[in-house]
Amino acid sequence: MDHLPTAAPFDLAKSKIMIVDDDRINIRILGGILRGEGYLLTEADSGEKALQVYAESLPDLVLLDVMMPGIDGFETCRRLNKNYGDQCAPVIFITAKSESDDVVEGLGAGGVDYLPKPFKAKEVIARIRSHLQNRALSEQRKQLVAQLSKANAAKNRFLGMAAHDLRNPLASIRGLSEFLREGAVGPLTPGQIDLINTIHSASQSMLDLVNELLDVATIEAGELKIHYGPHDLAELISKSVAMTNIEAAKKKTVVTFDTHGEAPILMLDGAKMTQVIDNLLSNAVKYSPPGSSVTATIQFDSTRGTYGFAVQDQGPGIPDGERDKLFKDFGRLSIQPTGGEKSTGLGLAICRKIVEAHGGTITAKNLTTHGCEFRVFLSANP
Amino acid sequence: MKFQGTILLVDDESHIRKYVGLILGQLGTPKIIEAANGAEGVDAYTRETPDLVLLDINMPIMDGIETLRKLKEINPDCVVVMLTSLANRQTVEQAIELGASNYIRKDTSKAEITKALTETISACFDCT
């Protein structure tokens, strides 16, 4: 991409470091090492003082002695973490070499590292640089994520508006071409009817695309609302099968539905689940060769105690290595519809989002014979 | 369907006026008046006192909600049906509260728009 959001470059040399130690000599040694690196320093000689200096200077990193009169280093660290949460600067404990238990307790108290005494200048510099860098990178990441989610929200708003403004004119083009086709404004020659049919089907597929884009924009904006109600799953599937058979007949494909005697009443959003069923059925017809048979069945998962359904087709199956694209936005596979139908690459992504919004799962697998099977299972407790 | 009466069609998109106008013509509407925005719609209402107003929501100059308020001021009993598309759900609810009788989705198929207009006309006019 050409226009990735950018964060301001960070300059570690101006980082603020707070040194907390009741031993003035330690502060002087560390101060000497760190000033040479261009860091800005603040000091405190007790835990209580450290909390106060921290609030005033908001350092990027804290060097904290463990053994101090008053509140000790661990407690100071806990309080800093409690007060500043995610924003808290990394705390490095200053420890004597033998205090390995202290190291463990220090890390437990929220410290990120420790510096053993006596100090080795190179080690001090390297460790501090590494933690300052971590902090700067994590800040940068937060900024980038915030920028990206803002950009994504703007994209969805734009997508929604653009798609919405395209709907009405497209619906008019489609409707007006129906008027022409019906001969409402005079008789037509076969050549004219052919052109009008082309206008009609082109505007129809553009409307389908725009509707799917609107669905995606709505879902991504977090506005997908599931309106639960009791629905007879077999009845929903029967209706979808009847609708799909009208289109399927053009390819001499037949869609059949076997309830296995099951007629579960499930809590779901009828309109949205119908969209999922329609999509899986029409995909099955779309990718199966003419004259195929597509089968829908009610399924019961006895281990989870949930109902669902499966759709089997006689198409080429999901090509190896393309499985992860299947349920993604615009995740078009290399296989093509067999009757010149259109694919936006959004249908299955929308299905997945609707099913997941129901707390359910959608999966696909290739059949050993021919074709593939899509399975949807709903949640037992929506 | 035979009925006597006048329908005012207010929409800023000329293709919608043409499209919905053609459907109304097929349904046998004796007189259709068109207006391209709310202000024109209010003028036309005052001049012609139509029996039914089909009113778009998103329009320049004066939008559908403002127009509906004005029409209800002029005649609290005027019959207004909103012409809407998918994303206007909240605005439609507002329109219903302000006294609109119903709404028709204009981004659906010709068959569905025809059905909705037939029902609207049957409810509004004495049809034979």
- Decide if B103 is inside a domain: yes
| A212 at B interface, C-beta within 8 A | no
Higher-confidence residue: B126 or A57?
A57
pLDDT at position A313: 92
- Decide if B105 is inside a domain: yes
Asked if the model's pLDDT at residue B28 lies above 90, the reply is no
Min Cα distance A241 → chain B (Å) is 21
CB contact under 8 A, A171 and B107: yes
| A333 at B interface, C-beta within 8 A | no
CB contact under 8 A, B16 and A168: yes
CB contact under 8 A, A164 and B86: yes
CATH of the domain at B27: 3.40.50.2300
Task: State the complex-level ipTM.
Answer: 0.77
CB contact under 8 A, A176 and B15: yes
Other residues' Cβ atoms within 10 Å of the Cβ of residue A260: 10
pLDDT at position A211: 83
| B87 at A interface, C-beta within 8 A | yes
Domain A229-377, what fold? Heat Shock Protein 90 (3.30.565)
| A239 at B interface, C-beta within 8 A | no
Average pLDDT over residues B99-104: 88
Given a contact cutoff of 8 angstroms between Cβ atoms, the answer to whether B88 and B55 are in contact is no
Given a contact cutoff of 8 angstroms between Cβ atoms, the answer to whether A74 and A106 are in contact is yes
Min Cα distance B114 → chain A (Å) is 11
Average pLDDT over residues B17-40: 90
Domain extent, residue B112, equals 6-124
Number of domains in chain B: 1
Nearest Cβ partner of A172 from B16, B26, B87?
Answer: B16
pLDDT at position A1: 45
Q: How many CA atoms lie within 13 A of B121 on its CB side?
A: 26
Angle at A263 between CA A258 and CA A265, to 5 degrees: 140
Backbone angles phi, psi at B81, to 5 degrees: -115, 130
A14: which 2 tokens?
Answer: 């101006």
Q: What three-state secondary structure class fits B9? A: strand
Chain A residues with CB under 8 Å of B16 CB are 168, 172
Within 8 A by CB and 6+ apart from A122, the residues are none
Cβ within 8 Å of A, B 9-48: 13, 15-16, 18-19, 22-23, 26
Min Cα distance B75 → chain A (Å) is 30
Q: How far apart are CA A275 and CA A347, in angstroms?
A: 9
pLDDT at position A271: 86
Min Cα distance B76 → chain A (Å) is 30
Chain B residues with CB under 8 Å of A168 CB are 13, 15-16, 85, 106-107
Average pLDDT over residues B58-65: 88
- Decide if B1 is inside a domain: no
Disruptive mutation site among A168, A185, A275 for chain B (greatest number of B CBs within 10 Å):
A168
pLDDT one digit per residue (tens) for chain A, 382 residues? 445 555 555 678 889 999 999 999 989 999 999 998 899 999 999 999 999 999 999 999 999 998 888 999 999 999 999 999 888 999 999 887 556 677 788 888 889 998 888 888 899 999 999 999 999 998 889 989 999 988 888 887 787 777 778 888 899 999 999 989 988 888 999 999 999 999 998 898 888 888 888 887 777 777 778 888 999 999 999 999 998 998 888 889 999 998 777 778 889 988 889 999 999 999 999 999 999 999 999 988 888 888 899 999 998 888 888 888 888 877 677 777 777 777 777 889 889 989 998 999 999 999 888 889 999 998 877 6
- Decide if B10 is inside a domain: yes
CB contact under 8 A, B86 and A175: no
Torsion, Cα of B18, B23, B27, B29 (10° steps): -20
CB contact under 8 A, A171 and B87: no
Q: How far is CA B80 from CA B1, B10, B42, B119, in A?
A: 20, 11, 12, 14
pLDDT at position A144: 92
| B109 at A interface, C-beta within 8 A | yes
pLDDT at position A43: 94
Nearest Cβ partner of A168 from B18, B23, B106?
Answer: B106
Tell which CATH architecture fits domain A12-119: 3-Layer(aba) Sandwich (3.40)
CB contact under 8 A, B113 and A175: yes
Min Cα distance A216 → chain B (Å) is 14
| B90 at A interface, C-beta within 8 A | no
Q: How far apart are CA A267 and CA A228, in angstroms?
A: 6
Chain B residues with CB under 8 Å of A174 CB are 109-110
Q: How far apart are CA A143 and CA A158, in angstroms?
A: 22
pTM of the entire predicted model? 0.60
